[in-house]
Chains A and B, each alone.
Chain A
Amino acid sequence: QQQVKQSPQSLIVQKGGISIINCAYENTAFDYFPWYQQFPGKGPALLIAIRPDVSEKKEGRFTISFNKSAKQFSLHIMDSQPGDSATYFCAASRRNTPLVFGKGTRLSVIA
């Protein structure tokens, strides 16, 4: 049973455009929803995270939108740049438990 479903699997965006990646979860006990960015051969790096008490969180060009009733959350990358090309993973967890990851989205930002 896949607890966190991520889409799309791959995404191509023009430079300057908005990249949108969506995730849906099943376990209503989850209370922590991070997004990680991973470059080839590197470990995942935390981008931004949100807890269910807010519906949106913005850090620079990255925004998480969270819909608790729909059990969905998404990552928006504004003004996408070629350097943003990487694999993005959404995840979810409860306190003191390991993260459950989505399958990842490979983003390519083209000039």
Chain B
Amino acid sequence: GAVVSQHPSRVICKSGTSVKIECRSLDFQATTMFWYRQFPKQSLMLMATSNEGSKATYEQGVEKDKFLINHASLTLSTLTVTSAHPEDSSFYICSAPSDTDTQYFGPGTRLTVL
């Protein structure tokens, strides 16, 4: 199947700093990518839809100024957690739909904010 990568896989940062997470579709182009957040032993919660060439669409309750999304190209979307706080610690996962509408997920990024 198609491959989606994420970088970094783990990041530890101090409270108040910003962290950028990259999501790349390695063997297909994706005009849309999705960002999810997952807490331990819970399901995936959609945060936002990243659209190439236009603004991201955020789910209700997700602060767009805190979680900045940039879809710079057809293979790259970035999520920046600005002024991170301990409550932002979570597992962040991106996904990208292929041309057959199958959604492939990245391996996830574990963010820990101290």
User: Which residues of chain B are near A93, meaning CB under 8 Å?
Assistant: 103
User: Which residues of chain B are near A102, meaning CB under 8 Å?
Assistant: 43
Q: When the two chains form their complex, are residues A49 and B43 in contact, meaning their CB atoms are under 8 A apart? A: no
- Once bound together, how far apart are the Cα atoms of A45 and B32, in whole Å? 19
Q: When the two chains form their complex, are residues A44 and B93 in contact, meaning their CB atoms are under 8 A apart? A: yes
User: Which residues of chain B are near A34, meaning CB under 8 Å?
Assistant: 102-103
What is the size category of the interface that chain A forms with chain B?
A: 20 to 34
Q: When the two chains form their complex, are residues B107 and A43 in contact, meaning their CB atoms are under 8 A apart? A: yes
Q: When the two chains form their complex, are residues B105 and A43 in contact, meaning their CB atoms are under 8 A apart? A: yes
B104 CB to nearest chain A CB (Å):
7
What residue of chain A has the Cβ atom nearest to residue B103's Cβ? Answer: A99
The size of the chain B interface, using a CB distance under 8 A, is 24
- Once bound together, how far apart are the Cα atoms of A41 and B44, in whole Å? 13
What residue of chain B has the Cβ atom nearest to residue A93's Cβ? Answer: B103
- List CB contacts (< 8 Å) of A13-60 with chain B: 32, 34, 36, 41-46, 49
Q: When the two chains form their complex, are residues B102 and A103 in contact, meaning their CB atoms are under 8 A apart? A: no
- List CB contacts (< 8 Å) of B59-114 with chain A: 91, 93, 95, 97, 101-108, 110
On whether A98 and B34 interact (CB within 8 A), knowing A43-B93, A43-B108, A46-B1, the answer reads yes
- Once bound together, how far apart are the Cα atoms of A101 and B95, in whole Å? 13
- Residue A96 contacts which of B6, B95, B101 (CB distance < 8 angstroms)? B101
Q: When the two chains form their complex, are residues B102 and A36 in contact, meaning their CB atoms are under 8 A apart? A: no
- Once bound together, how far apart are the Cα atoms of A35 and B1, in whole Å? 15
**Contact sample, A vs B, 5 pairs, CB 8 Å cutoff:** A42-B107, A46-B103, A101-B43, A102-B43, A103-B43
Chain A interfacial positions (CB closer than 8 Å to B): 32, 34, 36, 41-46, 49, 89, 93, 95-96, 98-99, 101-104, 106
Besides the known contacts A41-B110, A43-B105, 14 further A-B residue pairs in the complex with CB atoms under 8 A apart: A34-B102, A34-B103, A36-B105, A42-B107, A43-B6, A43-B106, A45-B105, A46-B105, A93-B103, A96-B32, A98-B49, A98-B95, A99-B34, A106-B41
